[in-house]
Structure 1
Amino acid sequence: MLSFIQTFNLAIFLLFTFSYAYQIFYALVALVRKTPDLTPKDLHKFAVVIAARNESAVIGQLINSIKKQKYPAELVDIYVVADNCTDNTAEVARQAGAQVYVRNNRQMVGKGYALDFIFKILQRTNDKTQYEGYFVFDADNLLDENYIAEMNKVFDAGYRVVTSYRNSKNYDTNWLSAGYSLWFLREAKYLNNPRMILGTSCAISGTGFLVHNDIIKKNNGWKHHLLTEDIEFSIDSAIAGECIGYAGKAKLYDEQPTTWEQSWNQRLRWAKGFYQVFYNYGGKLVTTMFPDRNFSCFDMLMTISPAMIASLLTVFINAFFLLCGLLNITTIPGIIPATTSALMASLCNFYLVLYAFGLLTTITEWKEINTTPWKKIWYTFTFPVFIFTYVPISIVALFRKVEWSPITHNVCKSIEEVQQ
């Protein structure tokens, strides 16, 4: 039994090291190499698409930040889908200068359905409007004044899908908002940035991305309707051989949950959505990865793999053998120290690895983080705890039916206020 548990723990360690060591390489690439600055030959015409449900408190500020872009205004049109709203979101959006379409459908609920609704409308009129690409934003977002210009650079370079740098409107509210924010900063700087440098496909993250008209036309709208439509789109793109680009200087700010209830519900949906995507696309990623030598498929497979569940299974197995050792101290010598050290090592390694990524991100993105120096340091220690709270969420998501539900946004700040 002792030999089995030692071999098992070594095998799990080697499996995780092999599977995720490339992300350490990504971090090194991000530290030593820079993405070359691109000079666009053309300024393309875009439509901005915003799916909003009861977002009257924040949507006006987003539209204002779009209108303040250092990009020709005649090349950017703004469309809002007031999706199953019970407030005056549509009126606020119209007053701010957007073209608004109202959607009421209580059966087909979720952002993906709202996007499909507006894309189908825009496709019918695109012969006249001649949009080359579509920006997708959430209503709580704010854009840096150079956002569209920077995204246009990457789009003009030939990337048909482009994602951006995701920052936060409310990093300093508490450890929850800081945990989200630090995760998205790390994703931008140490995942998408090195992917772009190395020429492999990036991943979109919910909001702040650009899609070429040809893709929307080919898909006859927006066809991705799982609980995490963003990662589903990224996975589908990798399988199709579509290389998603990244514009690191295109900065977007969004609002993060600040209460445990909001955070629980949102991350429960994310966890369930990842399971759905893994179930529906995991096999396709594997079958595409090997014959096509497509590293993006391997990268995306590791992104959606239920690593948290595998880690928990390892903990439970060690805990089971520890219990056996406690009940049979005289007959199973050595099992207690072996399992105890394995459990402690797992916990310590988990914390230290996450802390290292959080600290590295905080140091390199120090000027981008809008809070006091003390809070910047403190939240590097709470970041691993935030990620650890995914453990109960991941377990519950396995067994509970989860439906899409909106997150309330209340941080009504202008882009100038956020950047100050």
Structure 2
Amino acid sequence: MFILFTALYFYQAIYVVVALFKKPQKPAPAGKNHHFAVLIAARNESAVIGQLISSIKKQKYPQDKIDIFVVADNCTDDTAKVAERAGAHVYERYNKKYVGKGYALSYALNAIKRDYGKNAFEGYFVFDADNLLDENYVTEMNKLFDQGYRVLTCYRNSKNYGTNWISAGYSLWFLRESKYLNNPRMMLKTSCAISGTGFLIHNDIIQKNHGWKHHLLTEDIEFSVDSIINGETIGYCGGAKIYDEQPCTWKQSWTQRLRWSKGFYQVLGKYTKGLVKGFATERRFACYDMFITIAPAIFVSLASILVNACFLVNGMLGSSFYIQHLVFSTTTSAILSSLFNFYIMLFIVGLITTITEWKEIHGTSPVKKILYTFSFPFFILTYIPISIAALFKKIGWDPIPHNISKSIEDFERS
């Protein structure tokens, strides 16, 4: 099982080598400042949405080329008022039947088309209400947009890396995703993937899709997979940085990752055929990459444990004491060896990311940065019970509360 895992994911080791030793090409200055709309889906986000809008207003980009739209989605607080006071156009949506970010984006895009026309904006940014933008974010994204990329993602950093091992686990994973997945994909000219928030979509795609048509529990992954199947190349802009708030309690983390796991299963069920066809018959590596990315890799380690457990049970039944003792010691050793191998692999991933992204990790001490590389594998391995639960549990869209009220200046000073 370990050999199978290694074979399937070996190309990601090549990604690491590329990211370490190949310098990304700096994009040329844009020939035009394109006109963008910013979409923010917010549900009871009054504590943080003002800071996001403020960071958009402070962009080193012509403000007459940025229009901010907030969907106050089933809010019971004053999110709409806070957003409006901060300078956003606000749409309020109340629909308890169709719940989730995908439906909120659909509502916003339909309202914008109605009120401004279908070609008022050349591209649409999508952010979560807890995000903060580096002051050069839009300028950097505009450079690659101007080069012809119709879908772009960015460098995803965290607002609360140092809160505890849970927030650090999330943060390290997203830093690794930016630096060692999307960054080498971009350099190797294959397709990147959108991750949650901080992405840009060309208006042509919005019009082709008649708005936002992706409503599974992981609408970002669904959009990425659907785009790649249809021949779109998603670009990555490492110079565009956002800061994102991560869950810091086990309950919040369980709820969020349970939805993600269920969403991955939904995407696999709906798009596996298209991904397999794209790789097997059209030789498009991006389709294989996306299939491996969304496949529940944690099941490979789980399968290894279960296979050894089956040998253990079989050997313990009806055998002599000597054989039982031999089987027990052998299979126990194999199970522990499997877990140790996966721990070491994940530790190396976390360690490399921590070392290379050291200056990008804010809000924690050097000692904690090192300690969190040891807890990172445990965070990832907790996906085992989460992935199992997601197979059997009915899951809806439960919002994760955000309350870390920081400004972009807090990160620029650190």
Report the TM-score, using the length of structure 2 for normalisation.
0.96
**1:88-133 CA distances to partner (integer Å, 9 max, x unpaired)?**
0000000000000111111010000000011112223454862110
User: Distance in 1 between the 2:119 and 2:304 partners?
Assistant: 56
User: Distance in 2 between the 1:24 and 1:157 partners?
Assistant: 29
From 400, 417, 420, give the equivalent of 2:393. Answer: 400
1:377 has 2:370 as partner: yes
Q: SS at the partner of 2:194?
A: coil
Match of 1:226 in 2: 216
**1:126-145 CA distances to partner (integer Å, 9 max, x unpaired)?**
54862110000000000000
Q: SS at the partner of 2:267?
A: helix
Q: SS at the partner of 1:347?
A: helix
Match of 1:307 in 2: 297
**1:22-55 CA distances to partner (integer Å, 9 max, x unpaired)?**
0000000000112111122211110000000000
Match of 1:16 in 2: 5
Alignment of 1:207-286 (within 5 A): 207-286=197-276
User: Distance in 1 between the 2:9 and 2:342 partners?
Assistant: 13
From 33, 37, 44, give the equivalent of 1:43. Answer: 33
Q: SS at the partner of 2:240?
A: strand
Match of 2:67 in 1: 77
Amino acid at match of 2:96: R
Alignment of 1:53-64 (within 5 A): 53-64=43-54
User: Distance in 1 between the 2:325 and 2:55 partners?
Assistant: 67
How far did 1:290 drift?
A: 1.4
Amino acid at match of 2:197: T
**1:170-191 CA distances to partner (integer Å, 9 max, x unpaired)?**
0000000000000000000000
Q: SS at the partner of 2:140?
A: helix
How far did 1:324 drift?
A: 2.6
User: Distance in 2 between the 1:306 and 1:146 partners?
Assistant: 35
Match of 1:102 in 2: 92
From 354, 369, 381, give the equivalent of 1:362. Answer: 354
User: Distance in 1 between the 2:358 and 2:2 partners?
Assistant: 32
User: Distance in 2 between the 1:397 and 1:310 partners?
Assistant: 16
Residues 167 and 254, structure 1, Cα contact 8 Å, conserved in 2: yes
From 16, 34, 39, give the equivalent of 2:23. Answer: 34
Match of 1:350 in 2: 342
Residues 123 and 217, structure 1, Cα contact 8 Å, conserved in 2: no
What root-mean-square deviation, in Å, do the aligned CA atoms of Structure 1 and Structure 2 show?
Answer: 1.4
User: Distance in 2 between the 1:250 and 1:265 partners?
Assistant: 29
Q: SS at the partner of 1:253?
A: strand
Consecutive unaligned residues of structure 2, counting only runs of 5 or more, are none
Residues 38 and 127, structure 2, Cα contact 8 Å, conserved in 1: yes
User: Distance in 1 between the 2:26 and 2:115 partners?
Assistant: 34
Consecutive unaligned residues of structure 1, counting only runs of 5 or more, are 1-11
Match of 2:408 in 1: 415
Alignment of 1:133-148 (within 5 A): 133-148=123-138
Q: SS at the partner of 1:78?
A: strand
User: Distance in 2 between the 1:355 and 1:331 partners?
Assistant: 36
User: Distance in 2 between the 1:186 and 1:271 partners?
Assistant: 19
Residues 112 and 222, structure 1, Cα contact 8 Å, conserved in 2: yes
How far did 1:313 drift?
A: 2.3
Q: SS at the partner of 2:345?
A: helix
Amino acid at match of 2:248: T
Match of 2:148 in 1: 158
Amino acid at match of 1:339: T
